Structure formats: structure tokens, C-alpha cells
Amino acid sequence: MNFIYSVQSEWIKTKRSSASWLCIIGGFFIPLIYLLKFFYDGNSINSYKVDIWKILFNQMWQNMATFLLPMGVILASSLIAQLEFKNNTWKQVHASPQSFTRIFFAKFTVIALMTLKFFLFFNIGILVVGVLPSLVFDHKLPIQGIPITYFLRANFNYFVTCLPILAIQYLISLKFNNFLVAVGIGLLGLIGSLIAMPWKYVYLIPYSYSPMTVFPGKKDFPIYMYAFVYFGIIMIISYIIYVSKKEKG
């Protein structure tokens, strides 16, 4: 129960924070562009004819996974972890009756939940893009049902590709009190991985997994397993660094 209380406490901190706004803006950005495009063309997903939801879903995710998703994750995770540095509150957190393990994992849980919130907004955006133009132009709902299982599985997979980024950004944000260091390293890692995408060892870069899902020729690689392993290793390193920190505030 104590852990839940710590997560709740951490969640309150994200209220009206930059990370929270970023989730809303980042989550609805691509759907908004699609929506505008549909309205401009006078089309709806009914014009796709076959697998209309899957086509829309995959198109939008392709745009998202290449750059916006990892970038959003970099920014959101760094912003949440940096809240304590920015407000000079680490000392208050560490002087409260919570074990360091509890603090470490509660904070990470909130970062992961924030990423899920980002996913949730994006998926709502996809549904709106699917439904709204149909209602406006055809006055009828999309001709095919929503493939919920497909959506959930794909979301889960994309989430797994984000885990190494979440872990590494969390580590950097706990270590450095300058937000720009975390974002700078994240951005370099992401751009580096995009440039190195044709390289056969690109999977060594933890920022590469999300773009790899949409990059031709990389889909057969065991992306999700590598992402999980990378995530586990970085989390262990982060935890050791955090717990053994001599000055905690």
C-alpha cells in the first residue's frame, strides 16, 4: 500500500506540469494533422475500403514512432524527473519516511504512467480522426469495426520500445540537475540512432527501438526482447547509482 501512496504523491506533482501539457499536445498533434487533412480533402477513413482502422492506425503510428514518440518520451521523462531539481525539493522527498527504493520506483512508475497517458491521448486522437470526418461528410460511422485487440497489442509493443529510453532518460535526469543535459543527450541519442538506422548494429543504441519498428528491413529483428533487456540493465544501473548517491538533497 505504501508504494501506491508514493505513486499517488508523485502523480500529484505532474498536475499542470510541463510534462503533462506535453502529453496532451504530443498525443493530439498527429491526429490533428490527419483530421485537418481529411477535412481539407473532404475524405474519411471509409475511403480506405479494406482494413480501414488498421491502415489509419499504422499510418499514424509510423509517423509517431519515427521521431515524435521517442522525442516525447525523452522530454516527458526528463521533465518529470527534473521537477525535483527545478523546485529544489529532493531534500524534502528524501527527508520523508519513504525508503529510497520506494522513491525510485514510484517516480519511475509515474513516468511510465505518463507515457501511457500519452498513448491514451494518441489513441483517442486516432479514434476521433476515424469517426469525426465520417460523421461530417457521410453522416454515418466508419463501415468497419475497431480491431481492439490489434490496437492493444500494437500499443503494448510500441510501449516496450520506449522502455529503454524511459530508463536511460530517468538515469540521466537523476544524475544531472540541468534539464538541458538530459534533453541534449536524449536528442543526440535519437538523431544518432536515426542516422545509424541502416547499420546492422543499430540495436546497440537504446533510442533506436521505436524507429526500428517502422524502418524497412528491421522489423524481423527481436526488437521487443532487446528493448526489455536494455531496459532491465539500465534500470539496475540507475537504481545502484541513485541509492549510493552520497548527497541526497
- What does the DSSP 8-state code read for residue 202? G
**In 3-state terms, what secondary structure has residue 5?**
helix
- Nine-digit cell string for 119: 498513448
Among 42, 198, 232, 249, binds other proteins (CB under 8 A): 249
Q: How far is CA 95 from CA 1, 86, 111, 221, in A?
A: 20, 17, 22, 46
Which segment (22-30, 167-175, 209-217, 241-249) binds other proteins by CB under 8 A?
241-249
> Cell 488498421 sits at which residue?
54
By beta-carbon proximity to other proteins, the closer residue of 45 and 106 is 106
Contact call for residue 208 and other proteins (CB under 8 A): no
Task: Select the residue interacting with other proteins from 43, 47, 98, 157 (CB under 8 A).
Answer: 98
The distance from CA 78 to its chain's CA centroid, rounded to whole angstroms, is: 12
Interacting residues of 143 by C-beta distance below 8 A, sequence separation 6+: 46, 52
Is 222 a binding residue for other proteins by CB under 8 A? The answer is no
Q: How far is the CB of 11 from other proteins (least distance, A)?
A: 9
**Location of C-alpha cell 532487446:** 226
Q: How far is the CB of 247 from other proteins (least distance, A)?
A: 6
CA 72 to CA 70: how far, in whole Å?
Answer: 5
Closer CB to other proteins, 4 or 124, in the complex:
4
Q: Using an 8 Å Cβ cutoff, are 203 and 221 in contact?
A: yes
Q: Is the Cβ–Cβ distance between 152 and 219 less than 8 Å?
A: no
Binding to other proteins in span 61-90, by CB under 8 A: 83, 86-89
User: Which of 13/218 has CB closer to other proteins?
Assistant: 13
Residues 8-37 that bind other proteins (CB under 8 A): 8-9, 12-13, 15-17
Among 99, 191, 236, 241, binds other proteins (CB under 8 A): 99
Does position 92 bind other proteins by CB under 8 A?
A: yes
Q: Please identify which residue in 91, 140, 200, 219 interacts with other proteins, judged by CB under 8 A.
A: 91
Do residues 57 and 122 make contact, with C-beta atoms less than 8 angstroms apart? no
**Which one of 5-13, 46-54, 110-118, 226-234 is the stretch in contact with other proteins (CB under 8 A)?**
5-13
Please give the DSSP secondary-structure letter assigned to residue 217: T
Q: Which of 51, 96, 180, 240 binds other proteins (CB under 8 A)?
A: 96
d(CA 130, CA 11): 31
Q: Applying CB under 8 A, does 240 fall inside the site for other proteins?
A: no
- Integer-rounded Cα radius of gyration of the chain: 20
- Residues in contact with other proteins by the rule CB under 8 A: 5-6, 8-9, 12-13, 15-17, 83, 86-89, 91-92, 94-99, 246-249
